[in-house]
């Protein structure tokens, strides 16, 4: 399984993902699911991947090949709008899935893959897109400025409570890490290392990228302080009437 998310803020975009992949409990491995495609001062694009690993690797390889191929009709270096980039990823994903689904006669494991594409092209607004296995795509909204793929539910409440468009990049990044940590505690198929990229709006380059392993002092500190904060928070919650002798609340 996998858990990736992107948060679209006034200050920029936060991208976060875990490294764990599994095809059955005896085939657990670690792969980066965050792929950057960047031409400094012109365009920054980050792709997060979830789903069938063969499909996502083939898509990323095709994207890289097209960028290096002057004869390619479309590539992430030639698209003029973010939604064109999303459509291009969706089209490649469908082609890869179709290629192998034909051979398998639609039997066997799911070849589906889901992507988040985010970033900015020069003179255009930054955007994030979620690209479905069918190749179609949606963007985020100010009311819910994040997108998630993979094992999304465990880590959603903390985003719903904490993230709004005005949140700082760093606070949103901490929130993304807590969201990843909560997910990894509740589902063993999601786990560290965690990868994090912060994009500053209009900078058109990516220079804050972290990989946090299980032993990373920053991750250990964040995890411990969060547990402490949650425990402390519980102590502050109201007492039931029979605990403190009052019966005003109920």
Give me the residues that bind a copy of itself (CB under 8 A), please. 153-158, 160-162, 170-171, 173-175, 178, 182-183, 185-186, 208, 210, 212, 216-218, 221-222, 225-234, 236-240, 242-243, 248-250
Give whichever of 28 and 210 is closer to a copy of itself, judged by the CB atom: 210
Give whichever of 134 and 214 is closer to a copy of itself, judged by the CB atom: 214
- Nearest distance, CB of residue 142 and a copy of itself, angstroms: 17
Q: Which residues pair with 47 in a beta bridge?
A: 35, 117
Give whichever of 74 and 187 is closer to a copy of itself, judged by the CB atom: 187
Give whichever of 43 and 223 is closer to a copy of itself, judged by the CB atom: 223
CA distances, 188 to each of 57, 105, 149, 215 (Å): 23, 32, 17, 17
Nearest to 15 by CA among 167, 145, 218, 198: 198
- Nearest distance, CB of residue 226 and a copy of itself, angstroms: 6
Helices 53-68 and 82-104, interaxial angle, to 10°? 130
- Nearest distance, CB of residue 106 and a copy of itself, angstroms: 23
- Nearest distance, CB of residue 207 and a copy of itself, angstroms: 10
Judge contact between 33 and 62, C-beta under 8 A: no
Entry field: residues in the chain? 250
Judge contact between 33 and 4, C-beta under 8 A: yes
- Nearest distance, CB of residue 172 and a copy of itself, angstroms: 10
Between CA 39 and CA 36 the distance in angstroms is: 10
Give whichever of 99 and 239 is closer to a copy of itself, judged by the CB atom: 239
């Amino acid at each position: 399984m996998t858990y990736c998310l992107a948060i679209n803020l006034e200050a920029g975009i936060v991208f976060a993902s875990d490294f764990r992949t599994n095809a059955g409990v005896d085939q657990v491995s670690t792969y980066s699911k965050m792929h950057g495609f960047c031409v400094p001062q012109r365009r920054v694009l980050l792709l997060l991947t979830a789903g069938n690993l063969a499909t996502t690797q083939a898509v990323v390889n095709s994207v890289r090949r097209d960028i290096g191929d002057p004869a390619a009709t479309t590539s992430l270096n030639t698209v003029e709008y973010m939604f064109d980039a999303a459509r291009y990823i969706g089209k490649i994903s469908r082609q890869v899935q179709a290629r192998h689904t034909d051979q398998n006669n639609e039997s066997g494991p799911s070849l589906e893959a889901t992507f988040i594409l985010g970033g900015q092209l020069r003179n255009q607004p930054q955007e994030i897109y979620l690209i479905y296995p069918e190749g179609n795509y949606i963007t985020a909204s100010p009311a819910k400025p994040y997108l998630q793929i993979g094992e999304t539910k465990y880590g959603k409440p903390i985003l719903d409570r904490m993230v709004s468009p005005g949140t700082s990049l760093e606070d949103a990044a901490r929130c993304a890490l807590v969201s990843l940590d909560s997910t990894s505690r509740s589902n063993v198929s999601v786990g560290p290392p965690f990868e994090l990229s912060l994009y500053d709006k209009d900078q058109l380059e990516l220079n804050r990228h972290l990989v946090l392993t299980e032993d990373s002092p920053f991750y250990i500190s964040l995890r411990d302080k969060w547990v402490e904060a949650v425990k402390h928070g519980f102590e502050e919650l109201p007492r039931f009437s029979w605990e403190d002798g009052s019966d005003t609340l109920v």
